[in-house]
Amino acid sequence: MPASQSRSRARDRNNVLNRAEFMSLNQPLKGTQEPKSFSRRPNNQASSGPAQNEGAKERRQSQQLPEEDCMQLNPSFKGIAFNSLLAIDISISKSLGVCASNASAWGNARSMINLIGITGHGVPWIGGTLICLVKSSTLAGQEVLMNLLLALFLDILIIAGLQKLAKRKGPYDVSPGLLDYLTMDIYAFPAGHASRAAMVSKFFLSHLVLAVPLRILLVLWAFLVGLSRVMVGRHHITDVLSGFVFGYLQFRLVEVMWMSSNTCQMLISMW
């Protein structure tokens, strides 16, 4: 035993790795302890999962914010064109609103311009059509008047629905009148007076035999009704132009839905 111990000690002394400068080579590497840490990570990840998800969401949002800012700072060509046309429309409409108030440039003519607008209102037209229908004694006249009455009611419903969807206000803060509330003509787009004037004038030009001067006056009247609504500050130019377009489309719709003489007589007899 003593001899064997002395030989083992001699081998240890002769072993180079047992020297002080090489002792670090005999120690286990730090990487060998990683499996233990890996075994502990799942629990840590389970506890810190929500925090990491929130951090990832914040990083994604922070990465998206510059892109959104760039999109707002660099709008598309269509957006630029639309905003430019809208600005031009508002500017010209305000410059034409010379009767928007009594203190405006043409404030003294405000009552006369309002009178021109009333000629295109729905209430006078519906009332006048009913009076003419009661006094009419011919089947042809009753047929035309009944379809005109249908066109007037359709105009009120369609324009009121479109205005409710758009909810666009006029260039000036002009409150609607009592007659406007009766026909639900509260908002600016599209212009109800302009659509009604275009529809009625086209209706008369198609179903009444009129001389050339009367036809010209009828078209001029429709134009003046639309212009008067811009002058009093109730509508923009685009509102009036769109009203003319919708008025023509409503006329085409009434032509498709045209009621025959028998249908008109049946409806009249129900009164």
Catalytic positions are 193, 235
Q: How buried is residue 201: exposed, middle or buried, by Cβ count under 10 Å (0-12/13-18/19+)?
A: buried
d(CA 200, CA 244): 11
Our CA dihedral for 110, 114, 116, 118, rounded to 10 degrees, sits at -170
Instruction: From residue 266, give the alpha-carbon distance in Å to each of 259, 260, 263, 269, 271.
Output: 11, 10, 5, 5, 9
Q: Which two tokens stand for residue 61?
A: 């949002």
d(CA 203, CA 147): 10
DSSP assignment string, 24-68: HHHSPPGGGGHHHHHHHHHHHHHHSHHHHHHHHHHHHHHHHHHHH
d(CA 134, CA 136): 6
Longest distance between any two alpha carbons in the chain, whole Å: 148
